[in-house]
Amino acid sequence: MTVFKSVAAGALALALLAGQAAATEDFIVVQSTTSTQNSGLLDEILPEFEAASGIDVRVVAVGTGQALKNAANGDGDVLLVHAKPAEEKFVADGFGVQRFDVMYNDFVIVGPQDDPAGIRGLGDAPAALAKISQSAAPFASRGDDSGTHKKEQALWNLARVDPAASSGNWYRETGSGMGAILNTASAMNAYTMTDRATWLAFNNKGNLEILTEGDDRLFNQYGVILVNPDKHANVKADLGQTFIDWLTGADGQKAIAGFKVNGEQLFFPNAVSQTN
């Protein structure tokens, strides 16, 4: 019985301790995409910002669609995503203050080495997708309204193919993150579209390799937006702006350029230098 009581007391003490775990230091919440986290970019560059500013950056990495919704709910101070039309709409709707370009990389279409659809070396992404649909080779789609998914849909449109009509057949909508899709594609020898950063950092490529790349239409622009404090009073506008200024400023841009996986640069800074 004494043992019992002491264990109960210990558990309670631990419980109270956990309540205090939330630190009181300055921090911001950044709603971002899985590609920035899974590639390792944020882990690499954030400590530099945190050391310089004393601001702790808490990253919630979800699909761009969910990141936009979370930010619209005021559950974050800064949005760092890659779906320019959706981002512009976010600002136009009053949820964000202003959108800034941060960096870019590109999407690539990856698929099995034996390439049943024969798209290897094609520089035309819509044409590659059209060939995949004709061959009815499996294609794994994010299907989650993420930035990558939005880009993929735009490319299907250009290819004049409605993949949704073949959903469940050769077109597989898995509704999951980029890494999960790559695992899926690797397991079922499917084609898929991924951002290059996640691809390069991904460690379970299996039989997959890059088959189509270099089309201008595969360009992948990342933007950063301060969530509008007029909509949500809890938004830490000053701290968030400090982060945006750093990210789009010389130090942040240099850090982004310096991030390499296996000697390869994953993101290319392209912020327009701010004038104030």
Binding positions for other proteins, rule: CB under 8 A: 1-4, 7, 11-12, 14-15, 17-19, 21-23, 29, 34, 37-38, 43, 58-61, 70, 72-75, 177-180, 182-183, 186, 201-205, 232, 234
Report, in Å, the least distance between residue 74 CB and other proteins. Answer: 3
Report, in Å, the least distance between residue 23 CB and other proteins. Answer: 8
CB atoms within 10 A of CB 58: 11
Report, in Å, the least distance between residue 69 CB and other proteins. Answer: 10
Q: Output 71 or 271, the one with its CB closest to other proteins.
A: 71
Q: Output 23 or 165, the one with its CB closest to other proteins.
A: 23
| Pairing verdict, β 27-33 and 78-81 | parallel
> Contact 268/104 with Cβ under 8 angstroms?
yes
Interatomic CA distance for residues 38 and 25, integer angstroms:
26
Q: Output 135 or 184, the one with its CB closest to other proteins.
A: 184
Q: Output 234 or 274, the one with its CB closest to other proteins.
A: 234
Q: Output 204 or 274, the one with its CB closest to other proteins.
A: 204
Q: Output 203 or 276, the one with its CB closest to other proteins.
A: 203
| Pairing verdict, β 264-265 and 260-261 | antiparallel
What DSSP letter does each residue of the chain carry, written as one string?
A: -HHHHHHHHHHHHHHHHHHT-S--S-EEEEEEEHHHHHTSHHHHHHHHHHHHH-PEEEEEEE-HHHHHHHHHTT--SEEEES-HHHHHHHHHTTSEEEEEEEEEEEEEEEEETT-TT--TT-S-HHHHHHHHHHHT--EEE--SS-HHHHHHHHHHHHTT--GGGGBTTTEEE----HHHHHHHHHHHT-EEEEEHHHHHH-S--TTEEEEE---GGGEEEEEEEEE-TTT-TT--HHHHHHHHHHHHSHHHHHHHHH-EETTEE--EE-PPPP--
Report, in Å, the least distance between residue 18 CB and other proteins. Answer: 4
Report, in Å, the least distance between residue 192 CB and other proteins. Answer: 13
Report, in Å, the least distance between residue 119 CB and other proteins. Answer: 23
Report, in Å, the least distance between residue 85 CB and other proteins. Answer: 23
Q: Output 140 or 161, the one with its CB closest to other proteins.
A: 140
Interatomic CA distance for residues 77 and 79, integer angstroms:
7
Q: Output 7 or 92, the one with its CB closest to other proteins.
A: 7
Report, in Å, the least distance between residue 43 CB and other proteins. Answer: 7
